[in-house]
Amino acid sequence: MRRISKWFIPVIALSLLFTSCSKDKDEVTPGPSLADIEIGSGNNMTGYTGSDIHVEAQVTAPGTIANVQVTIQPASGTGWKFDSVYTAGFAGLKNAEFHKHIIIPAEAATGHYQLRLTVTDQRGQKKTHEAEIEIKTDPTLPTATGFEVGLNSDGSDLHLEAEIAATNKIAKVEVEIHGNWEKSVTYTDAAMVGQTAYHLHKHINISEAPAGHYHVHLNITDQKGKQKEFETHFDKP
């Protein structure tokens, strides 16, 4: 009996050790991931001086998000650099939509740049997406000034207004609203199409939208297919 006990105890100890190790392996939290990445209008990987470039992605982190970082630097040589870490609206979540518009200074050097989008989870695990973008200068791109939105008293109607212009004449205007609810509208008003300048004034029914924070994107396309996007936001109580 003593001989059995002498060998039995070490065997049990080893069994518990392997079980513990196996359990630890099973409990390893997967790292974060990035999906549905879009950089630039229509994912064209292009930004323009004096304008902005939008960066969008679906962020997932089973270990919960700590932060999302975007860096931009010249592919070679010297030039404009950008580095920003975002936590508000992301930290502590397991899933989030990342959508930011990064202003490119008017004096930024044109050329090719390296953009890195990185999500880090609470365990320090990272996932990085790298892309090469091009920064150009084009003074003929459509413009929008005085772009503003506002809600009526019961929150069912969104008023949108802007002075828009296009050297190559306006072809269409698209408005996209996104947040906890999404809606998109395309305008090709006869009074607007073919004009180089136009006062845009629209009312959009958002009665179905739940309370929350929303982004509004105004995309102007000219008759040569050039487009430029502008963004603002609002809160629905």
- Homologous superfamily, domain 33-136: Immunoglobulins (2.60.40.10)
The enclosing H or E element of 148 equals strand 143-151
- 119 within 8 A of 59, measured Cβ to Cβ: yes
Among 71, 66, 172, 169, residue whose Cα is nearest residue 119: 66
Among 150, 146, 200, residue whose Cα is nearest residue 172: 200
**Residues of the chain predicted below pLDDT 50:** 1-2, 4, 11, 22-23, 25-26
**Other Cβ atoms within 10 Å of 16 Cβ, number:** 10
Among 205, 91, 217, residue whose Cα is nearest residue 159: 205
- Per CATH, 33-136 and 143-236 having the same topology is answered yes
Residue 157's contacts (CB-CB under 8 Å, 6 or more residues apart) are 151, 203, 204, 205, 206, 207
Q: What is the pLDDT of residue 1?
A: 47
| Tokens of residue 119, six digits | 């999500």
What 3-state class would DSSP assign to 102? strand
Among 78, 83, 82, 87, residue whose Cα is nearest residue 59: 87
Q: Which residues pair with 222 in a beta bridge?
A: 170
- 46 within 8 A of 40, measured Cβ to Cβ: yes
Domain limits of the chain? 33-136, 143-236
Q: What is the pLDDT of residue 42?
A: 86
| Tokens of residue 23, six digits | 């359990």
What CATH number is given for 143-236 in this structure?
2.60.40.10
41 alpha carbon, distance to own chain's centre: 12
Model confidence pTM above 0.85: no
